[in-house]
Amino acid sequence: MKLHEYQAKGLLSQFGVPVPPGRVAATPQEAEEAARALATETVVVKAQIHAGGRGKGGGVKVVRGPAAAREAAQAILGMNLVTHQTGPGGRRVKRVLVEAGCAVERELYAGVVLDRARERPVLMASAQGGMDIEVVAARDPAAILKEWFDPGLGLHPFQARRLAYALGLAGEAATRAADLFVRLSGAFRVLDATLVEVNPMVVTLAGEVLALDAKLGLDDSALWRHQDLAKMRDLDEEEPTERRASDGGLSYVKLDGDIGCLVNGAGLAMATMDIIQHHGGTPANFLDVGGGATEAQVTEAFTIILEDPHVKAILVNIFGGILQCDVLAQGVVEAARKVSLGVPLVVRLEGTNVEQGRRILQESGLALQAATDMADAARKAVAASRGERKGRARRP
């Protein structure tokens, strides 16, 4: 789960990470009031969306005084902000963060992630603050300093100091930076984060070390023990169909193609997309109905697939294990009756109770094409998506 910058800063400051004074605002009026509460003349007004690159897209404005902050908020709130991370559709801005400006001496980078290869968290730091860490990693991997730490113990202070000195910091600034690193590692552990990123982390002319921007990603699997954090989820930032799918216990990702896929299991669902492309078609989505899909879930899955106007054919690929073929077949029949398909349907069933499943489909009278294996299914679905019909519908 992703959080907004203002939420991330609020949480990090609870862990003692210094952030600029500021407040979130949903209206120009609130933004003006927030600016008035600040001690500085310079005010930064930042669009709050779940995407980076906001500055380049016009979502961040540095202004002087509360009246100017109001104007900036007026311009940003409600705008459709397009950045390299939002996709061409952009995101509607509902809130701005109004913060005190500061005089920056140095911009650095700090981030904590789980290093999958080493199977432990790592704190990464770089002197090249303000740049995407992926860009730094690609251009100059040696510029990224790393300290791995025990997930139970957190980053040791000596590791944090080692990073600070290696970044070229000295004196009080080094001490403050090291302290910030330790606090980031603590937040990562306690919040069950997948990502804590401070970019840039700045040293101000006044000698302060601040998290000027902050990004926080949380482990969805751990939200059961963070009910307070779960409430911070911003549903408006999620693709509506993906949100509906997840509410229905389905795993769905929208893609650009025209063949809808309904599959059990994530690996098989990806492989189904791959084989569609292998045979010259394009998948419209990833959809995993899961191990114990019910008839209601299958119906919901069809509804979601059919809501995509680009879908010209649907490929159902089921390898029955826990999810038995007859249960799935019954679900397909019921769903097809309820939602009126309107596009060709290709079904490939294999695995537990496959004979019963095939019989249910055959006796349903549904106009579907049965496929004998994955390749056959993909070929038929691709042909169907082009308005061709390869051969006659075989007996399921």
User: Near other proteins by CB under 8 A, which window of 76-84, 167-175, 270-278, 296-304?
Assistant: 270-278
Q: Pinpoint the alpha helices (H) of 124-213.
A: 133-139, 157-166, 171-190
Q: Is 197 a catalytic residue?
A: yes
Minimum Å gap between C-beta 342 and other proteins is 25
Residue 268 contacts other proteins per CB under 8 A: yes
- Structural contact between residues 377 and 315, judged by C-beta atoms closer than 8 angstroms: yes
Partners of 262 in the beta sheet? 316
Minimum Å gap between C-beta 325 and other proteins is 10
User: Near other proteins by CB under 8 A, which window of 41-49, 94-102, 326-334, 368-376?
Assistant: 368-376
Could you write out the DSSP letters of every residue in 75-135?
A: HHTT-EE--TTT-TT-EE---EEEEE---EEEEEEEEEEEETTTTEEEEEEES-TTS-HHH
Distance between CA atoms of residues 172 and 89, nearest Å: 45
Secondary-structure breakdown of the chain: helix, strand, coil percentages, each rounded to the nearest 5: 40, 25, 35
Residue 225 contacts other proteins per CB under 8 A: yes
Q: At what angle do helices 325-339 and 354-364 cross, to 10 degrees?
A: 20
Residue 153's Cβ-count burial label (10 Å; 0-12, 13-18, 19+) is exposed
Residue 35 CB coordination number (10 Å): 30
Minimum Å gap between C-beta 261 and other proteins is 10
Using DSSP's 3-state secondary structure scheme, residue 343 falls into coil
Minimum Å gap between C-beta 189 and other proteins is 7
Structure tokens, 85: 């991370």
Taking the least distance from each CB to other proteins, the nearer of 137 and 170 is 137
Residue 88 CB coordination number (10 Å): 5
Question: Which of 116, 231, 392, 395 forms a contact with other proteins (CB under 8 A)?
Answer: 116
Residue of 109, 147, 252, 300 marked active site: 109
User: Near other proteins by CB under 8 A, which window of 90-98, 158-166, 298-306, 371-379?
Assistant: 371-379
Task: Find tokens 């390749």 and name the residue.
Answer: 375
- Structural contact between residues 154 and 181, judged by C-beta atoms closer than 8 angstroms: no
Partners of 60 in the beta sheet? 46
Residue 26 contacts other proteins per CB under 8 A: no
Residue 264 contacts other proteins per CB under 8 A: yes
Q: Which of residues 272-331 bind other proteins (CB under 8 A)?
A: 272-278, 283, 286, 288, 291, 319-322
Task: Find tokens 């969306």 and name the residue.
Answer: 49
Structure tokens, 130: 């303000």
Distance between CA atoms of residues 137 and 181, nearest Å: 20
User: Near other proteins by CB under 8 A, which window of 24-32, 94-102, 250-258, 381-389?
Assistant: 250-258
Taking the least distance from each CB to other proteins, the nearer of 192 and 208 is 192
Amino acid at 207: G
Q: Is 237 a catalytic residue?
A: no
State the pairing for strand pair 368-370/345-351.
parallel
Residue 227 contacts other proteins per CB under 8 A: no
Question: Which of 352, 357, 358, 366 forms a contact with other proteins (CB under 8 A)?
Answer: 352
Minimum Å gap between C-beta 116 and other proteins is 4
Residue 222 contacts other proteins per CB under 8 A: yes
Taking the least distance from each CB to other proteins, the nearer of 31 and 318 is 318
Taking the least distance from each CB to other proteins, the nearer of 76 and 136 is 136
Query: What x/- string results for residues 129 through 158 when contact with other proteins is judged by CB under 8 A?
Result: ----xx--xx------------xx------
Q: Which of residues 29-88 bind other proteins (CB under 8 A)?
A: none
Kindly list the catalytic residues.
Answer: 109, 197
Q: Which residues bind other proteins (CB under 8 A)?
A: 114, 116-117, 119-121, 133-134, 137-138, 151-152, 189, 192, 194, 219-222, 224-225, 251, 253, 255, 263-278, 283, 286, 288, 291, 319-322, 350-352, 373-375, 378
